[in-house]
Amino acid sequence: MTVTGGAIPSAARREQIVAELGVARARTLALLDPLAEDDLTAQHSPLMSPLVWDLAHIAHYEELWLVRALSEAGATDPRLDDVYDAFRHPRAERPTLDLLGPGDARDFAAHVRKRALDLLAEQDLAGTDPLVAEGFVYGMVLRHEHQHDETMLATIQLMAEGRHPAAGGGPGAPGRPIAAAEVAIEAGPFVMGTDTDPWAYDNERPRLVVDLPAYRIDTTPVTNEAFAAFVADGGYEEPRWWDPAGWAWRQQATLEHPLFWLAEGDEWARRRFGRIEGLPPREPVQHVCWYEADAYARWCGKRLPTEAEWEKAAAWDPRGRSALTHPMPWGDAPATAALACLLGCSDGEGRFGPDEVGAHPEGVSAWGCHDMVGGVWEWTASDFSGYPGFAAFPYREYSEVFFGTEYKVLRGGSWATHPSAISTTFRNWDLPVRRQIFAGFRCAADA
């Protein structure tokens, strides 16, 4: 179910909240239940938390916002305020904390969910309190859980023995022939961001008019076969393609190819959730950092799009049918498996990976860009910052503390993103060295 703009009756909104919270929890448990207890408690990479920390943190965050912020109720266990505060303890330190075990974490999550649903009936969803109006805080919590599910999928991919029963195998949906490699975007203003999505985050607000010169943008994300050509041409050995900081980091990290790629003679393979398989040439490249994406773009005579360029190509209708951007590239309709590669669409469960580029022609944007939601997160050229008039809500630590030149913006979601946690205005961000996330990119160029 996708949240749309405009008020809906409180009873219907409550039903929607209960249903979506249930979907998020079922997804979390289905992801973790097949794993052994040792897999849940181990730290598989210093970049990631133990999976059991994520589970209890999801529940603790829900207690903070759906129980304690909305009532006079106290904490289930006050010591958990320290253990599951993501800002007090970096990920590398979390295995040393007094964590709840898998069984206790599940019990804690179930206990908190009951308290939250008991309190839901008391909330005035039609009132003026911005925290609860139209269920904002509930949307924040369920999206938080879906985002941690995607983080846990990245952790599982990093496991030395990462097989997961739900990962499946075989190729994704086949792509279709695409007539043009890039599309031209006309110069002119468009409306960026949103003031109409009741569950949008603070960093997506307020909407603003951005006037862009004409530019060109790739019709699809860069594929594995295209990126392999960059590797074969010595792209990782040539400093002129790299941002100076990226070149220094490439040397320090001894990067030679995307994460999880494996050389097998003259061919490439990859490790995907514990399985070794041939590298699918027409899937979008993933597990590349911003520096790798930027280097590839320079190598082919292009650049990464700004996030404004990305959003205009994804969401703005050049035919002028709407005064606002569309929440999805194809318009206002909820995501389906025919429209996008998102884990959680009608038949999208069961394969942990992207489809081939161009596999969803019904989901094309009004400009003719494919796969702008789902598949892979797409790096942009932009640093993460607030829009003019930005106001932190409901807490600075969601967005504002990350503003600055240290973080780069990603757009569009990945195959591991849930449909209720993504839109054309949604802004993700990460350090330019991060590769464990399900990220790729498309290129742009001046007109």
Residue 378 sits at φ, ψ, to 5 deg, of: -120, 120
pTM of the model: 0.95
Q: Which amino acid is at 399?
A: S
> 87: which 2 tokens?
């800002």
CB count within 10 Å of CB 276 equals: 11
Residue 95 sits at φ, ψ, to 5 deg, of: -65, -20
Strands 261-264, 215-218: parallel, antiparallel or unpaired by DSSP?
A: unpaired
Strands 188-192, 208-212: parallel, antiparallel or unpaired by DSSP?
A: antiparallel
* DSSP structure class, residue 192: E
**Average pLDDT by consecutive 10-residue portion of the chain (447 residues)?**
55 95 96 94 96 98 98 96 96 96 98 97 94 97 98 94 71 89 95 93 96 98 98 98 98 97 94 91 98 98 98 88 75 93 67 93 96 98 98 97 98 96 97 98 98
Chain CA centroid to CA 413, Å: 4
Q: Which amino acid is at 363?
A: G
In tens, the pLDDT along 377-428 reads 999 999 999 999 999 999 999 999 999 999 999 999 999 999 999 999 999 9
In DSSP notation, 209-278 reads EEEE--EEEESSPPBHHHHHHHHHTTGGG-GGGS-HHHHHHHHHHT--SSTTEEEETTEEEEEETTEEEE
Q: Report the C-alpha dihedral over residues 276, 280, 286, 287, rounded to 10 degrees.
A: 20
> 409: which 2 tokens?
């913006």
Q: What are the distances in angstroms from CA 390 to CA 77, 156, 319?
A: 35, 35, 29
In tens, the pLDDT along 292-350 reads 999 999 999 999 999 999 999 999 988 765 555 789 999 999 999 999 999 877 544 55
Domain architecture of the chain: domains with CATH: 10-158 (1.20.120.450), 168-447 (3.90.1580.10)
The pLDDT, as a whole number, for residue 65 is: 98
The pLDDT, as a whole number, for residue 7 is: 56
